[in-house]
């Protein structure tokens, strides 16, 4: 009887303790041969790199059925035609490689309004969308019009429609724990109010930078993202990188938004899927 009571106490303690997440990166598309100076400030103009388009899947430990995506990818044909990704997999099909169906997704956290991160938000029929209030109001007009060319017109209309349907939460500011174990941070200035995540895991706090740090080179060499991708505010972008180092439990737990090297550093299980924790 004593061992049974002890086991019950441990189980209850686990239920009331902190939430920890398993994190999986899903590489759904590749944009080929991009000049690196588009991504890393003052990079040698002869250097080029592929860019991995990534959806992050966050699942809490235990019995919770919550499935959270960080960013939603893209699917509209004219965007595919513009980016010319090779290979390319539609986001709902890509996340199946991580063992997740699109219907199972409960939440989508959008880092910023650029099409390669926002466009697929309406592909997950049961998901609630989270985005910064200042980001939304800067880019989306009252009737779903695009207020700024930083957002695709179809994405502005789609996001406004999701909000009218009661499926959007506008996050009011920096350093907000929006879901237990997941905190959003602003200040990277990739867009007007882009946000990145701090995620609690058994290994410590992981930072998912999205495009506030596009490549490992931004983080590891303390180089801001290219000025054209930081609204010209490279100092704010560097300050965000310094903050990421303070938030993350170790430098190795900071993950950039588009670096294919993520999948070399975390090769398991493979085939475009990287299990981080």
Per residue in 38-80, pLDDT (tens digit) is 999 999 999 999 999 999 999 999 999 999 999 999 999 999 9
User: How does residue 16 score in pLDDT terms, banded at 50, 70 and 90?
Assistant: low
Alpha carbons 28 and 88: distance in angstroms, whole number: 6
pLDDT at 182: 98
- Does 2 map to a domain? no
Give pTM, 2 decimals: 0.93
- Does 252 map to a domain? yes
pLDDT at 277: 81
CATH at 178: 3.60.15.10
Average pLDDT, the chain: 93
* Long-range contacts from 143-151, C-beta under 8 angstroms, 24+ separation: 148/192, 150/113, 150/114, 150/191, 150/192, 151/113, 151/114, 151/115, 151/118
Q: Is the pLDDT of residue 174 over 90?
A: yes
The average pLDDT across 246-252 equals: 98
Range of the domain at 25: 19-275
Q: Is the pLDDT of residue 4 over 70?
A: no
- Does 163 map to a domain? yes
- Does 14 map to a domain? no
Q: What is the pLDDT of residues 110-128, one digit of tens each?
A: 999 999 999 999 999 999 9
E runs forming strands in the chain: 21-35, 48-60, 68-70, 107-109, 128-132, 168-171, 176-179, 182-186, 195-201, 204-210, 254-256, 273-275
Q: Is the pLDDT of residue 99 over 70?
A: yes
- Does 208 map to a domain? yes
Q: How many residues does the chain have?
A: 277
- Does 62 map to a domain? yes
Q: Is the pLDDT of residue 6 over 70?
A: no
- Does 72 map to a domain? yes
Number of domains the chain contains: 1
User: How does residue 3 score in pLDDT terms, banded at 50, 70 and 90?
Assistant: very low
Q: How far is CA 226 from CA 22, 58, 72, 200, 203, in A?
A: 31, 28, 23, 29, 31
Q: Is the pLDDT of residue 230 over 80?
A: no
């Amino acid at each position: 009887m004593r061992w049974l009571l002890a086991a019950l106490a441990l189980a209850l303690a686990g239920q009331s303790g902190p939430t920890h997440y398993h994190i999986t990166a899903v590489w759904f598309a590749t944009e080929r041969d991009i000049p690196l100076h588009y991504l890393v400030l003052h990079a040698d103009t002869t250097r080029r790199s592929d860019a991995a388009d990534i959806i992050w899947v966050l699942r809490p430990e235990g019995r919770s059925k919550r499935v959270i995506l960080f960013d939603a990818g893209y699917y509209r044909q004219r965007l595919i035609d513009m980016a010319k990704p090779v290979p390319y997999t539609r986001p709902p099909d890509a996340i199946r490689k991580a063992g997740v169906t699109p219907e199972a997704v409960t939440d989508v956290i959008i880092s910023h309004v650029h099409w390669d991160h926002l466009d697929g938000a309406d592909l997950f029929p049961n998901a609630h969308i989270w985005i910064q209030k200042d980001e939304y109001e800067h880019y989306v007009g009252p009737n779903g019009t695009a207020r700024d060319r930083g957002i695709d017109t179809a994405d502005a209309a789609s996001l406004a429609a999701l909000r009218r349907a009661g499926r959007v939460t506008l996050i009011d500011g920096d350093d907000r724990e929006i879901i237990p174990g997941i905190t959003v941070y602003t200040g990277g200035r990739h867009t007007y109010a882009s946000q990145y995540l701090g995620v609690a895991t058994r290994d410590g706090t992981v930072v998912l930078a999205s495009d506030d740090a596009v490549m490992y080179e931004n983080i590891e060499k303390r180089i801001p993202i290219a000025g054209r991708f930081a609204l010209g505010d490279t100092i704010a972008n560097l300050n965000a990188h310094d903050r990421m180092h303070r938030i993350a439990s170790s430098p190795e737990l900071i993950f950039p938004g588009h670096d294919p090297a993520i999948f070399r550093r975390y090769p398991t299980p493979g085939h475009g899927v990287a299990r981080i924790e």
